[in-house]
Amino acid sequence: MKFFSLIRIVVFLVGTGLFGALHAQNSPASLQARRDSLLNPSLMKQAERVLRFEKSVQNIGTLTEDDVPVTYRFVCTNVSNRPLLIKRATPTCSCVTVGFDSKELLPGKQQVVNLTFHPKNHPGTIDTHVFVYLSSSDKTPVARLTLTGDVLPGKDEWARFPYSMGKLRLKQNTMTFGEVRTGHRSTERIFCGNSSSKPMQLTAPILPAYVTFHTEPAVIPPGGEGDIVVTVDASLIPVGAKAEFTFPIIIEGVSARPLDRTLNIKVKRIN
């Protein structure tokens, strides 16, 4: 597009007000509003005249990460004059699973929505929601159920890192590059922690030419956390390599057998 043609289009948009409208749609305030509408959608109008819960907020008190999952009952009544069907109940946190009867709820009858809270790996203040949708209101929730409370750290402060390489604790022991585009660089991370009493500096001296490795920070202090960062440069992958392939990275700087300090890297290339 020629420069002067672009200028004429911008002038036209400004004159008609479309330029400002387009800018407003992508402004930080607009994007935040759209994000909030997804994470905390408005309830159906007059929802209390359709499906009424005895209470919509329950305080779980104080738990620890070592406690077993606990289930909380939310009882609702169909206060409308027509049968209702709960289609789905969407939690805002992976710490909650939901259970409910999928049968039709007749007028005047009650039903229970069970929220099971899983404290493991979820320390801190709890304020999580579940949005309940009817088959007749798939886009607008009829209720918002809330669990509040606190979860204290468990006895094993490293329990949230399920994998270990000696004293190095990791969130995962595999890394997947799902969309490495030809000619581009892609980076993935693994969250890790140093459970030892000494600083930890990790290296990977044996790498394919198309891979780089480092940690952030470069030296992980005792009791500290960081990221293992791996970058794949697709422009350096040898011609003839498969579209999907796997290779290992052996990490130095931890005391363990080579097999026990190996990351498996999976790469899938797309054009």
DSSP at 203: B
pLDDT digits (tens, 9 = 90+) for 69-86: 999 999 999 999 999 999
Domain boundary among 118, 152, 186: 152
Residue 126 lies in a domain: yes
Task: Give me the residue label for tokens 């206060």.
Answer: 79
Query: Residue 40 falls within a domain, yes or no?
Result: no
Domain boundary residue among 152, 172, 204?
A: 152
Q: What is the Cβ-side half-sphere exposure of residue 147, based on CA atoms within 13 angstroms?
A: 30
Cβ contact 209:215 at 8 Å: no
- 216 and 144 in one domain? no
pLDDT at 3: 45
189 shares its domain with 260: yes
In this structure, the answer to whether residues 148 and 171 fall within a common structural domain is: no
* 51 found inside a domain: yes
Where residue 131 sits, what CATH number does that domain have?
2.60.40.10
Residues 6+ apart with CB under 8 A from 73: 112, 113, 114
Digit-coded pLDDT (tens) for 138-170: 889 999 999 999 998 888 778 778 899 999 999
Q: Quick check: 60 and 147 in contact, CB under 8 A?
A: yes
Structural domain ending residue among the three candidates 92, 119, 152: 152
Domain shared by 173 and 245, yes or no: yes
Q: Are residues 110 and 85 in the same domain?
A: yes
Determine the number of helices (DSSP H) and then strands (DSSP E) in the chain: 3, 16
100/181 same-domain check: no
Statement: residue 255 has pLDDT above 80: yes
Total number of domains constituting the chain: 2
Domain assignment present for 119: yes
Least confident of 17-31, 155-169, 230-244: 17-31
Give Cβ neighbours of residue 44 (< 8 Å, ≥ 6 apart). 50, 137, 140, 141, 142
Q: pLDDT: is 185 or 156 the higher one?
A: 185
Domain carrying residue 65? 47-152
